[in-house]
Structure 1
């Protein structure tokens, strides 16, 4: 019996990166896992991500750990697709008891999309895949949790949603993440009487298979100089934080943001 045996967790954006690592981490602890992604082969676009794979896709990786898994393909920014995907997974596995709203991501160059120089295509896409996708997912799973008067919701914030970079760049992504953090506060207030907690994790500079190469190209010291702990975060750092927020150990914690930043908050700047 694992720590999460009998639990049914949903992870969005789980084909690669932080979502995949979290799905595998929770599966190793005994949870049955439902995953939603728009493309379960997206890891093939990044050599660093492809090198981590141990099976044809994350679904097979989860099942190889001896737990049940269900997958559904959906555009996280499309409300109808998200609700259909959640319903499909619940029909296969049962009512969802915990969710990690991981799906999201940015778009465009890191020094682009400044506060008054927005690429509107990027702006709408990033708001959809981050904020709207999180809202849709939570609205789809909440009825199951309300019915059982129990549940755990974890949303995905970012260091960008906590503090502004000094050049005003990547504002579309940062604003979406800030909105998710505040939305999580509202979730906690509404759902508390149902014994449902809602919290957010806010990662800093994470060395995923995709981002490692970007850090090297931009110069690793540029990023590491902003961390109090002089290393990049790992996917396991985020997965461990999500584990805590989905566990009974966090039963009296709700409406908070757990910063997984290596002490970077208050130190972000553009050199």
Structure 2
């Protein structure tokens, strides 16, 4: 049986590219989503990848969801923690709700999902956990104290858990994308994109979701077994972290 890969937030944007790339490599892929039923149906119909609805902020829902994926497809060998949200505001205007929602999804969501597959990976002596962080978790970003804190936490989580998984055949790595040409980023005002964002990127362009997906495919492979606890920066030389 082909290895099973579970991609959170896997039906749109970077997550959809990751799901498709893993499928192309022969994985059985399950893509989770939190709310957009129409987009998930369209993705599954077009890509031939099963989609499952639950929130990574809900530990019990993660347990139930993982159990269903494993009943349908088999034990999860590769977990890609990609689900994430933004609730941007300058700190003096940021509300406790904006803080909590981002931390719950972008950081606690890693605990919830990884905890639900960790014992199985340990028992089987194999696993790949790949956490999608961000360049803003490495360098910080005004208006994103919540997002930057969560994404920096993802990197700390990666480094600590890699040490626990090493002797069990489990690698844990992070990818820190820069600005990627997703629907969300391309919706930014063109003047802001041209005048403020692109000048920060030495290669002079946005990244493509497929470029992040290729990083995931490598870190999921058997060939990457000596790489663990690392953060792979994919940001067009915007920041060296």
Q: TM-score, normalized by length of structure 2? A: 0.94
Please state how far the C-alpha of 1:215 moved relative to its aligned partner.
Answer: 5.1
Aligned residue number for residue 163 of structure 2? 189
Aligned residue number for residue 55 of structure 2? 75
Q: What is the distance in 2 between the residues matched to 1:61 and 1:213?
A: 23
- Deviating above 4 A after TM superposition, structure 1's stretches of 4 or more consecutive aligned residues are none
Match of 1:236 among 176, 188, 210: 210
Q: What is the distance in 2 between the residues matched to 1:266 and 1:23?
A: 27
Contact preservation (8 Å) 2:11, 2:19: no
Unpaired segments of 5 or more residues in structure 1?
Answer: 44-54, 64-68
The aligned length equals 241
Aligned residue number for residue 90 of structure 1? 70
- Summarize deviations over 1:5-57 as a string: whole Å, max 9, x none: 811100001121110111011111211001111124364xxxxxxxxxxx942
Aligned residue number for residue 66 of structure 1? none
Match of 2:26 among 21, 27, 30: 30
Matched, 1:57 2:46: no
Unpaired segments of 5 or more residues in structure 2?
Answer: none
Q: What is the distance in 2 between the residues matched to 1:117 and 1:213?
A: 23
Q: What is the distance in 2 between the residues matched to 1:118 and 1:202?
A: 24
Contact preservation (8 Å) 1:14, 1:58: no
Match of 2:133 among 133, 157, 162: 157
Aligned residue number for residue 99 of structure 1? 79
- Summarize deviations over 1:40-93 as a string: whole Å, max 9, x none: 4364xxxxxxxxxxx942222332xxxxx4432111111111111111101110
Query: Higher helix share goes to which structure?
Result: 2
- Summarize deviations over 1:167-224 as a string: whole Å, max 9, x none: x421000000000110011110111110100000000111112211215252323111
Q: What is the distance in 2 between the residues matched to 1:88 and 1:80?
A: 12
- Summarize deviations over 1:87-126 as a string: whole Å, max 9, x none: 1101110000101100012113xxx242x54221111000
Q: What is the distance in 2 between the residues matched to 1:117 and 1:203?
A: 27
Q: What is the distance in 2 between the residues matched to 1:171 and 1:42?
A: 31
CA RMSD in angstroms comes to 1.8
Change in 2 beyond 3 A, CA 1:164/1:18: same
Contact preservation (8 Å) 1:36, 1:73: yes
Q: What is the distance in 1 between the residues matched to 2:105 and 2:69?
A: 20
